[in-house]
Structure 1
């Protein structure tokens, strides 16, 4: 470790001590030291500073000196002046050093004492004198502010500070810091001061707010002078600031207006407060509103007189009207009252920060009534007819309004009843007004008139003007009372008319308006008999039309056809006409011909219908292929025999039983058909089923159970060794039994696979699904409601029985069927396809003999031949066919094949009915009807 300068000094002193000197060292118990070994650092300390004192000790003995007592004292050896007392150990014939620091030196001659003792010997004492130099010491001896008059906030007052150098050394120039509350610090220059001299530092300050404040003055703020003391140098002086008169508002402004007076006036009221005031005073004020469109809207200035001494309150109010604030838009505005807005003299206040108060002024929009152009039900009418007008009025404001519609139509003035419109209400007023005679344009004008005390902001959108077209066309009406029919002799014609005779029909018409009209007369078949023209010159005149015609059996029709349908209606009149006798045969022949034509037409239509059905009908194979090609829920490819789709687990068995009506022909067809079986119309199969996402089907590895191996495969456990010969004795064929067993085994395997697929369908479908897809899959439900086919009347039991013709019922009293009911049994056999024995038929039972011992039996010659040809190729069979026929059947018998999808579906349905089983709605497994839980998938039923 590097030695310090003090250590170097000590070593030097020790070396010097080896030189023979005239000074005698002190010795105590073999430890030696003297004033020559005492050193001071620094050599010339200053007052207020410190000095480091060190003394070197030497152990002249060869052994260590233990418990050597050492002590330092300042100026005299006394307990209160002790600087350090310690106990040290000095090695034999070795030097050591002890030290202490004397802080807070005072100016003048100082003396340091050192005392040591070793081994209980007499202590040795010696001292060293040194001189402490003096320093300047600046402080504020006194400070004052001029408070000969009351001081108010903001006043300018004088400040003086006396700076004294109380030290023994001269001080150079420095800076004095003056701290005034609520003002920035002030730096004042202080001149150089000789030891013991002083100087005044003067300035002016601004009085802070009212109250008692402390002003601080600190000399040598920059610490540019090394002084004897740097603490306790700040001087504080107290400043008392009196409170002057102050104006303020007690609360916010209150704005009051009549809710119905949308255009004002608005009364603004508040309370002004004065503190520290004396006598009466008129306080100038003004109301201001910031215009959001720019600028400030200012009301007329006014003054508020306040009286009293000290604290005083005075309420005030002012008025604003529409002429003052008319430029402001609708809505809420902040109105502000300001005290002494123009800065008049004599109103100096303690503070102006509280010279404003605000309130909320609301300008409501003036309601505006908007009148839409009137609408007419029929804007083109005949003269004299009424026109129905519909006038819609809208209140666009937020206040209710009252008024009426004033109008003029076709020269006639009028007005509506008083109408009240709520805020935002839309109302349609309807009125029917007559038109004047003659063709013209009827003008309809008017406007909305606001009632007294109500409003209408914009009068321009309250007016309307429109017109209706009035036509004056000739209009004729038939007078049926004037109808007359006369014969060729101008005599009134008798009914019925005579075929081939000439008659004249006449009828009058009444007119409206004036004009010309043309009519034609025909016989009802388009043959025009005559044309007529008539003119009406005077409104209300009558015109007469007549037509001469020849009656035709068996009915004569006469029509007057107007050239313009708007003038008159079509007139038609038919008369019964008697045919002549010689015309009867012709009439009969004509009727026969007509019927023949109708028959031919009917046959043609029937042929077209049959051809259409044959051409559009699909074959059974095509229909079945359409049903079983693809899954309707996910379009996955199917084999056609699945109960559930292998791609999305859709319940195909349920889907096959659902029907809908064809949108083209209305026939009931299966939902799975792509085309209607009756008309061939394309069907949207996917719309009848819920769409599902197709999943990639994973091949499920079925667990294979190995059969136990047998040592001898030819070993016969039970039965007979020659099975073929044995079954022949029972009348069966081994090949036939093997085929039947193969078929049954295949059917059983198919049922096991189907049951296994149904049992694990959900597990297979759920393997590749995410949690969201599993939740969606479990929430899907296949409806079990009846299909349209089930609700069709053609599937009703009564309809089926009716199609079988007349049936006979068996009453309770009739008992069971007997042999006498042969007709019933025969009919049942025809319906069901069963075979049976009817009464009266002779039955021969083979390989039996008639027992002649029984009374009543007719015994015939009966012989029994128990011999048979031994044919090794053909086993004994229970069939009644000959051996040759059985051999032919065996050759032509086709290999056993699986049933078609349609036959399997039919067999399953018959089996389901016979076994009376139910089906699980979740997995499709067969269940007992009374089951409340599925043993395959675990679903529970309510």
Structure 2
């Protein structure tokens, strides 16, 4: 008898010689060993037939490895094909089906975390539909489920996998069939005429409806309409169609408005046929419905005049266009200027623009106005151009019949001269004064002119030509010298426009400013003239570091502003006077000062040149002393100190000798006295 395997990947039943199929666990319970070597020997003693039977039993798992069981148990949890159900029982393509699996726990206690999986088509990771765990009461049943969406037509398989408590999983599948459906689609939509439709025309819409499904459709309704137009839809009957069959149906639509419209054809508009994809299969077509001709302006209205001419002429130009035109047509355009108050609006004659041909076209226009606008006051005006002012043309749109531009009647520029600004209000005679004048153009065109100025007895001096941009300012500067002696100097200037330029108000085009010129002496050291020479001012040039024990002369030049006398004193670094120089100088003249000094120190040497009257700032100059000369000087100083010390020592020594001599004589004298007393 052949061995029969009930579970995938496990051998649960074994054929025995006496009792047929018997569970392996039952054999173990009855004391029969499942050791293959011992068992085969026992069977061999029973006969050759039993031996072959054992061989078949050993090979049986290999034979059933790829054939799943239809039922089984994993750890006492049973599942079977019979416990699999489908809702709905007859699913259709494109829809979904709910698969239910009934699980039975044969154990007396609750089976916790029973693992179960649903797979589409086969047990592969990419086909997993659902994985979850569930608890099943002892000796109880639990239903688990999964949903399979977007079903494909034809035979399908749902695979189940149940495992519990580490035991081998139960795996099996159940096949089911997915029914096909009809599928109605609009495969072609056309309108006749294909072009040239205008407002109020009717068009024939031809539509092809095809059944792309796998079963025949019943009768249905095609709905044809215009998107955005209420009550434009028309229903057309479509006969039953077998799979792959098409039907051509026609509908007539009215086009009451112009524009680009979208025709929509929807099959099975009232869901009379069960389809693979409900609500799909529609098709659209854009149709252009032409309006009546339309006349309109394109771009901006340009109003220009020569940039440097305030009196015109003004050129008004633009472009008039016609859309959806047919044939020759003359359009009139009118010009008007909006004024306010008592100002009278100018009267401008209309202009004719000719159009020819079909479709869209445009024509430029231009008119030049001069005297008719010169009566307008200064300011900005709205100038409007209107097409067909008399209403003689049939148009589809009157909202775009006007275009407006800005007409600017410009004012005559005015040049304002700000008060002149000097670099100083009090200066010494002969000094230069930097004058600054700011000129402002208040107009919208550039102006040109000169400053006519007077200064220190010179009249009507003309500056270079000055150009000032619109609404801008331009600075003019000039360095002018003062006269000699103390006095008041007056600067005056006025704007003088060129013959082809403008200045509308001359009252604000002048400036006059006076400053005080004093005669106070002021001396300035010219640092670049300072020179160092040996011994005298005419000696050889010398450079730092200076040599110890040498004599030098430092010479520097001063320049004057004003006139007067002063004494310049040379001082060394500790304030000892080295010499004096008296100067008597006129404005603009120069003088030199020489300081002669001897280097008798080892540290840096400084001199100060001081003005006795305070007409100049103190000038200070410092030089370093040569280190070599410093060492010699230090050695000389050390020798001098040594000699002094030796001299002092010699004097002290002589003093000591004299004192000793005198003391000796005193003691001798004293001894003789005592001796003579003793003799007595």
Shared fold (TM-score, shorter chain, > 0.5): no
Structure 1 or 2: larger strand share?
A: 2
- Structure scoring higher RCO (CA < 8 A, sep ≥ 6) equals 2
Structure 1 or 2: larger helix share?
A: 1
The structure number with the bigger radius of gyration is 1
Question: For this structure pair, what is the TM-score category when the shorter chain's length is used for normalisation?
Answer: 0.3 to 0.5
TM-score normalised by L of structure 2? 0.36
TM-score normalised by L of structure 1? 0.27
